[in-house]
Structure 1
């Protein structure tokens, strides 16, 4: 991983930044699926848990060749009025590293109980005894609304940043540019 590029969202009076980030990130996901790429990672320099948001910048990390191949796909079509895209640039000399990954939550005990009843053939009372209300967790991470290319289902993708590290870890990224193992340069 020796290069990056930034795609910055421009202010728009009609659309909130979160909506535009969702559209941009959805387009990136479709492009990564089409390319079958596992060598491009993402980061969000404006990431914040309070106030919760991903910010107005999507940074793509990878080798110069992988980023060039992605940008030749014309995947940003339809977003040109809403973005400013940098050239592909070399990673700065001294950086730290971190993971950027998906985090899934058990958000609804009611949903989990219905699912358990269906899967195990249990009654409501049995499922309620097995799954207490305390399993619910209110997510506090920034997120983006997306549609999966494989299932066509809409969902919320919660994004978690790992702790800063001094050394990079190589691994593959998924088609959302996320990984629990692979690190991206953080600067």
Structure 2
């Protein structure tokens, strides 16, 4: 159950935009969860908005107080500490609704999909063009954080979707991005 939280406010400056800092902060958070094998801390973005498309400037971490304290002691903010303000661990409001915060993946590049299929199946370019039409491509409208894969070196967009609010919490684990398709966090 996620009963406590920490707000981390991104502070932009004239040389570095808030979304860029949020991306760096989120990558540091992800790497800390992977390194320490943490699946008990979830996230939310209190300023999340689809119109305009933004995650906002606050990354909220949700979890038990001990898990949040252990994460803070791990010094995972190295390199971004000058660009953020961290509030103290606090209790989440008992009457807050809950929601799942999850990753959504989209087929955003038809050429990449075709190349991937050709590599995997050995099919010809012409047959893959017939199988994967131009209209398969999707244009996401969700807010995202720009990430860099350490394993492939590629950049990608991690799209964030909000589940519907519900009165009661759903317990479960979170992935290495602090997201879950079923486990909820308090939404306030």
Normalised to the residue count of structure 2, the TM-score between the two structures is 0.94
After superposition, where does 1:22-37 map in structure 2 within 5 Å? 22-37=23-38
Could you tell me how far apart the structure 2 residues matched to 1:172 and 1:150 are?
24
After superposition, where does 1:90-101 map in structure 2 within 5 Å? 90-101=91-102
Task: Give the equivalent residue in structure 1 for 2:166.
Answer: 165
Task: Give the equivalent residue in structure 1 for 2:46.
Answer: 45
State the Cα distance separating 1:118 from its structure 2 match.
2.1
Q: Is the CA contact 1:33–1:149 (under 8 Å) kept in the aligned structure 2?
A: no
Gaps of 5+ in 1: none
Q: Is the CA contact 1:30–1:149 (under 8 Å) kept in the aligned structure 2?
A: no
Gaps of 5+ in 2: none
Normalised to the residue count of structure 1, the TM-score between the two structures is 0.95
How many equivalent pairs are there? 187
From the superposition, tell whether residues 68 and 152 of structure 1 become closer, same or farther in structure 2 (CA, over 3 Å): farther
Q: Is the CA contact 1:27–1:76 (under 8 Å) kept in the aligned structure 2?
A: yes
SS in 2 for 1:29: helix
Moved more, 122-131 or 91-100: 122-131
From the superposition, tell whether residues 110 and 149 of structure 1 become closer, same or farther in structure 2 (CA, over 3 Å): closer
Task: Give the equivalent residue in structure 2 for 1:63.
Answer: 64
Q: Normalized per residue, which structure has more strand?
A: 1
Task: Give the equivalent residue in structure 2 for 1:9.
Answer: 10
Moved over 3 A (4+): 148-153
State the Cα distance separating 1:150 from its structure 2 match.
5.1
Moved more, 66-75 or 8-17: 8-17
